[in-house]
């Protein structure tokens, strides 16, 4: 169970994106790397705002606090959990891009186990992990809503092509078709 904490580690997420590049799964690689960066920035900003203490700081000297010898004990910046945010961002990205529901479910179970391992190892409280999971999924949804809009903007220097996601129609029921002429838009 303790090894599962590394699923949300930055090295693991970047390694997964690199494997996707190697396999020429460009949409997966761009999505995983982009959501990792976006969710990580939001998580770091929130950590610097809240400065919440970790369980080791709150229960210093308590013999019932479970820690392991191979993992350094941290004392500050508990809220939200960065590992959980990254793991859920990766799971949501794979669930959105992948056509397989089983793959998406597997990734969310793995992300939930990552969150559980952060609590088990004494690194986070339940609210840190709970908010981190919401943050990871939320930033992924925002990323996949905003990036297609940015990629269609002709004034930007870069132009990434992101996959059209069927979920977008459910999230944004009113879509704007920029290719239609002005005559077609007038009633």
Domain boundaries, the chain: 2-185
Of the candidates 178, 167, 176, 174, the one whose C-alpha atom is nearest the C-alpha of residue 145 is: 167
**Taking the CA of residue 102 as centre, how many other CA atoms within 13 Å lie in the half-sphere pointing to its CB?**
0
Write out pLDDT tens, residues 23-47.
Answer: 988 888 888 999 999 999 999 999 9
Choice among 26-40, 43-57, 124-138, 159-173 with the minimum mean pLDDT: 159-173
pLDDT given for residue 106 in this prediction? 94
Only one residue has tokens 């599962």, namely 4
**pLDDT > 70? residue 147:** yes
28 touches 140 (CB < 8 A)? no
List of residues 6+ apart from 29 with CB closer than 8 A: 17, 18, 20, 21
C-alpha–C-alpha distance, residues 64 and 77, integer Å = 22
% residues pLDDT > 70 (the chain): 79
Which class does domain 2-185 fall in? mainly alpha
Q: Using pLDDT thresholds of 50, 70 and 90, give the confidence band for residue 158.
A: very low
Write out pLDDT tens, residues 109-127.
Answer: 999 999 999 888 888 999 9
């Amino acid at each position: 169970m303790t090894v599962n904490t590394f699923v949300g580690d930055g090295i693991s997420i970047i390694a997964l994106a690199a494997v996707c590049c190697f396999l020429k799964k460009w949409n997966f690689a761009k999505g995983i790397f982009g959501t990792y960066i976006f969710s990580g920035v939001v998580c770091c900003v929130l950590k610097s705002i809240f400065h919440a203490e970790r369980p080791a700081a709150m229960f210093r000297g308590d013999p019932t606090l479970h820690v392991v010898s191979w993992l350094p004990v941290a004392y500050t910046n508990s809220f939200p959990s960065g590992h959980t945010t990254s793991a859920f961002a990766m799971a949501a990205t794979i669930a959105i891009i992948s056509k397989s529901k089983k793959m998406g479910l597997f990734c969310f179970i793995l992300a939930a186990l990552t969150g559980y391992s952060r609590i088990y190892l004494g690194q986070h409280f339940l609210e840190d992990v709970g908010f981190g999971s919401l943050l990871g999924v939320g930033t992924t949804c925002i990323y996949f809503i905003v990036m297609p809009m940015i990629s269609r903007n002709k004034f930007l220097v870069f132009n990434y092509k992101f996959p059209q996601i069927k979920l977008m129609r459910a999230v944004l029921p009113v879509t704007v078709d920029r290719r239609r002429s002005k005559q077609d838009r007038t009633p």
